[in-house]
Amino acid sequence: MNDDLGTQLDAELGFEPAVSATGVDGDNAGPTSGKRRIRPGLRRRLIATGVLLGALVSMGGAYAAFAGTSGAANAVTAAQQTAMGKQLYEISCITCHGSNLEGVQNRGPALIGVGAAATYFQVGTGRMPLARQGAEAYRKTARYDDSQTRALAAYVQSVGGGPNIPTGSVRSASSTIADGGVLFRLNCASCHGATLAGAPLSAGKSAPSLKVATDLQIYTAMQSGPESMPVFSDNQLPPDEKKAIVTYVQTLKASADPGGAGIDRIGPVSEAIVLFVGGVGVLMLAILWIGAKQQ
């Protein structure tokens, strides 16, 4: 019956309709009837094109975001650090060193040209802010942490210029320890002592001990020459020689005494004298005790 109806409609319309009178495709009565099929080759090309376009857009966007923001972020960070340093300077330093780092008579020297290196050493070792006026500024507990110290140094550097804080490690390879020892004995031991314990100087001053000094504090001290210490510029001591000295000092501090308990490493002659005096003292006490017991 249905086939007769379909044949009759075909004859009246003059063509074969896409859908039969029963609503079912005569050629394909399956569930995919009425839908066009995409050839597999075309589908693969479309998918590959979409993936390629997506990858290009993602890479381009990532590059644009990185290139457009990395430099600006660093610049903002530096500006914020300098601004924080200015605030700290106006709180703790301006009274003695002036509003423009020009110094104040009978209070504090000018900071023009001292650079970030001197600021880092003085503030990082607690010498500044100064507790009281005197012949020497002594090391004490630092008031500011490392980030605040660097901020102060960045502000001083931005206004007055001068030697900057080195970046990266200020130590060299272990193979430079011997050279560092030679350089230390030539340039540093006369004041700081061969055992790093420091020594008194003239006019009520003294060369401080290096036993608690950090790598960067030693290096910036050589850059800036605090108080009676001379400035070791890069022309006099190139950076690699400064690093060799730092490496020698810190290695010497970390190494154990091979002979047991050293008396502050003051040398074999001095140690022998101490032992002799101490031994004689013990012997005399023993003689007195024996004499007292026999009476």
Q: Three-state SS string across 70-111, please?
A: HHHHHHHHHHHHHHHHHHHHHHHCHHHHCCCCCCECCCECCC
For residues 180, 185, 187 and 188, what is the CA-based torsion angle, rounded to 10 degrees? 100
Give the model's confidence band at 149: pLDDT under 50 very low, under 70 low, under 90 confident, else very high.
Answer: very high
The whole-number average pLDDT for the span 215-234 is 96
Query: Is the pLDDT confidence value at 65 over 90?
Result: no
Token reading at 102? 């020009």
Do 237 and 183 touch, CB atoms closer than 8 A? Answer: yes
Query: Is the pLDDT confidence value at 123 over 90?
Result: yes
pLDDT at 26: 46
In the block, tokens 């004490």 appear at: 140
Do 231 and 225 touch, CB atoms closer than 8 A? Answer: yes
Do 270 and 263 touch, CB atoms closer than 8 A? Answer: yes
pLDDT at 184: 97
pLDDT at 60: 66
Give the model's confidence band at 195: pLDDT under 50 very low, under 70 low, under 90 confident, else very high.
Answer: confident
Residue type, position 150, single letter: R
239 vs 222: CA distance, rounded Å: 10
Do 121 and 226 touch, CB atoms closer than 8 A? Answer: yes
Maximum CA extent, the chain: 155
pLDDT at 131: 80
Least confident range from 10-14, 174-178, 198-202, 245-249: namely: 10-14
Please indicate whether residue 34 or residue 240 has the higher confidence score (pLDDT).
Answer: 240
pLDDT tens digits, one per residue of 255-265: 877 666 666 66
pTM of the predicted model, to two decimals? 0.67
Average pLDDT along the chain: 82
Please indicate whether residue 31 or residue 159 has the higher confidence score (pLDDT).
Answer: 159
Token reading at 271? 């140690």
The whole-number average pLDDT for the span 217-240 is 95
The whole-number average pLDDT for the span 74-92 is 88
Q: Which of 182, 183, 150 is nearest to 166 (CA)?
A: 150
Least confident range from 124-138, 209-223, 270-284: namely: 270-284
Query: Is the pLDDT confidence value at 5 over 50?
Result: no
In 166-280, DSSP assigns E strands to 199-200, 206-207
Do 113 and 49 touch, CB atoms closer than 8 A? Answer: no
Q: What is the CA radius of gyration of the chain?
A: 41
Please indicate whether residue 90 or residue 52 has the higher confidence score (pLDDT).
Answer: 90
Do 126 and 143 touch, CB atoms closer than 8 A? Answer: yes
